[in-house]
Structure 1
Amino acid sequence: MTELDAGRGSDSDGTDVLVLRRGTHGMPVEGYVDALRDRLPDRRVRLARTPADERERIGDVAFVTGMTLSEDLLEVADDLEVFACAYAGTGHLPLDRLEERDVAVTNASGVHGPNIGEHVLGAILRFTRRFHVGARRQRRREWRHYQAHELRGSTVTVVGLGAIGRAVCDRLEPFDVETIGVRYSPESGGPADEVIGFDGDAFHEALARTEYLVLACPLTDATRGLVDREALLTLDPDATIVNVARGPVVDTDALVEALHSGWIRGASLDVTDPEPLPADHPLWNFENVQITPHNAGHTPEYYERLADIVAENVDRFDAEESNRELENQVLP
């Protein structure tokens, strides 16, 4: 047996990295396994393809990666030291139990920047040039001009300046717009022309001069219901909301009221509350609402970008240096 075969993180079958069976965005998880193997040719990367296989293999593997990890599976993961979550969000994981077990948890932050940045830009341009109106008239074979808008000179407020928010700001730069970033620590700055915190007065003052409100923040106590009735009333009637964060960041009932009453120009919703959106929900009926089924995160490059992060962390983990920080480490 080589030193590698007996090295840290290998189980009795020589597994260095165990990949759990669930994929994402309709892409087979085998693509993730292949991407990891390309980057880790000297490690044994194994896929647990069935529930029984997961339970059998996870017991003596130190480094595990996947979309989710149930408490039941965690209970039999006796040697687990690192769980590399394949999503940017980790709120669905049993974080308290993982912390009790002193398991390091990483996420996929940064994987979504390019694709969601493009999604947001596309949504903004759709409402700016009113392509939805043009599409409706095309369906009717109706050659009739309509008025549009111009993005140049607009103010775009981006709530959340993580990887996605930064990607949005970067892509807006050539359009000669004014950007306002909203983050928990405004003193840290960011790629926006102005950065503010979540203080109520500052936030509402920003909303009052916003044409496009982009929500790209995590769902926390501070952001749940952030865009409520008061916020919607404060927005300019020509404003458009683009939500690629989480549905509950927006008060859905207040949004429906705002759309009915003409308080805002429209909304592009990749996420909703509730989600999935029921077929009889009133949001489906607005012509000035664009709904996509939590699809902004899809990219054919998902597993490739994720594998870059996870492979780097496998190398750091194997280095066995004390106090080694993993990339995108969120716990402990």
Structure 2
Amino acid sequence: MPDITVLRTGAHGTPMSEYAAALRERLPECDVALARTPADERDLVADARVVTGVDIDEALLSEADELELFAGAYAGYEHLPLDALRERGVAVTNAAGVHAPSAGEQVLGYLLTFARRLHEGWRRQQHREFRHYRAGELKGSTVTVVGLGAIGQGVVQRLQGFDVDTIGVRYTPEKGGPTDEVVGFDDEALHDAFARTDYLVLACPLTDTTRHLVDRAALNTLPPESVLVNVARGGVVDTDALVSALRREDLRGAALDVTDPEPLPEDHPLWNFENVVVTPHTAGQTPEYWNRLADILATNVPRLDADEELQNRVA
């Protein structure tokens, strides 16, 4: 029976066969099996010490008698049956950090698009209008990054050299961070930061604290020339409040890689704003996804054998 079972559901439009191949390359001493059908999954998890994939439901988990580690293929893990995994003594890891380079680059692309008004240039190209418009500079602006995990830090790292001021928002501001200033989620500090923000970048998990963090009050606090960028989760933003702010021209624009609802319905008003860029949850897409995820699991298999602390352990 396999040491590692790779479940069949892929991620970001890439097949799990690539992930299995990357694991075999890094762990030649391990038997890595790829499940291709539901029946394969049930058979292959039965004696596997490690199972990896996007999700594992309780029915499949009940078949995994020897399971010691479930290696999640997403950074998020709220969808997993954590209580059932805990009861069985199964460790859980996630893909935190895998998305940081691609998401950081995508955020930088959004910021430069709005700073230089490249979206307006694209619009005029579609109408074959060779007509000048005024563009700005990213230099001298203030970028506030909510969430200083791997993605948030990746954003800040890529802003170095652009001569911008940065504010970070995190649960434990006393830990500091890579930004010029760090604040917490208390209303006074948060709204003071928002009031000084030119670009608000959301890179945080969706929690009770961050759900609708960007609501009507927050949008009223942001300067009218500010731009909202969301690569976190759609629910961090109150969508109705955002639409209202855009209609009132209380924001310069928004770049949304995630929305609430998601997918965004065809008749949703956000599609109709010329100052809104919508991408279909692509910030995490990278050809290096499976290689980076395989690196994490290849690090953790020897640690599992030695009963050492696991990289990216979440439960």
The one-letter code sitting in structure 1 at the alignment partner of 2:266 is A
Letter of the 1:177 partner, please give it: V
Residue in 2 that maps onto 1:292: 279
Equivalent position SS for 1:329: coil
Q: Which of the numbers 104, 107, 132 marks the counterpart of 2:91?
A: 104
1:314 paired to 2:301:
yes
Q: Whole-Å Cα distance in 1 between the matches of residues 88 and 239 of structure 2?
A: 38
Aligned partner of 2:174 in structure 1 is 187
Secondary structure (helix, strand or coil) at the match of 2:145 reads strand
CA positional deviation for 1:48: 1.0
Between Structure 1 and Structure 2, how many residues are aligned? 315
Q: How far apart are 1:38 and its partner, in Å?
A: 0.6
Query: Are residues 1:164 and 2:148 paired?
Result: no
Match of 2:270 among 283, 286, 293: 283
Moved over 6 A (4+): none
Which amino acid letter does the alignment assign opposite residue 56 of structure 1?
D
Instruction: Give the structure 2 partner of residue 42 of structure 1.
Output: 29
Counterpart residue identity of residue 312, structure 1: T
Q: Distance in 2 between matches of 1:232 and 1:41?
A: 53
* Distance in 2 between residues matched to 1:284 and 1:71, nearest whole Å: 38
From 291, 294, 309, the equivalent of 1:325 is 309
User: TM-score normalised to the size of structure 1?
Assistant: 0.94
| Structure 1: distance between partners of 2:86 and 2:245 | 42
Do structure 1's residue 67 and structure 2's residue 54 form an aligned pair?
yes
Contact 2:145–2:203, Cα closer than 8 Å, also in 1: yes
Aligned amino acid, residue 309 of structure 2: E
1:24 CA drift (Å): 1.0
Equivalent position amino acid for 2:298 in 1: A
Long gaps (5+) in structure 1: 1-12
For residues 98 and 43 of structure 1, the distance between their equivalents in structure 2, rounded to whole angstroms, comes to 23
What's the TM-score, normalizing by structure 2? 0.99
SS in 2 for 1:256: helix
Could you give the per-residue CA deviations for residues 67-101 of structure 1, whole angstroms, max 9, x where no partner exists?
11112111211221110001111011111211122
Which residue number in structure 2 is paired with residue 229 of structure 1? 216
Aligned mates of 1:137, 1:18 — CA distance in 2: 51
Is the Cα contact below 8 Å between 2:116 and 2:135 reproduced in 1?
yes
How do 1:141-290 and structure 2 match up within 5 A? 141-290=128-277
Gap regions ≥5 residues in structure 2: none
Q: CA deviation at 1:300?
A: 0.2
Contact 2:33 2:44 in 1 (8 A): no
- 1:263 CA displacement: 0.7
Deviation at 1:27, TM superposition (A): 0.9
Q: Give the Cα–Cα distance (whole angstroms) in 2 for the partners of residues 38 and 56 of structure 1.
A: 24
Q: Equivalents in 2 of 1:180, 1:99: separation in Å?
A: 37
Question: Residue 18 of structure 2 aligns with which residue?
Answer: 31
Q: How far did 1:28 drift?
A: 1.1
Q: Find the aligned partners of 2:303 and 2:86 in 1 and give their Cα distance.
A: 20
CA distance in 1, matches of 2:16, 2:49: 20
CA RMSD of aligned residues (A): 0.8
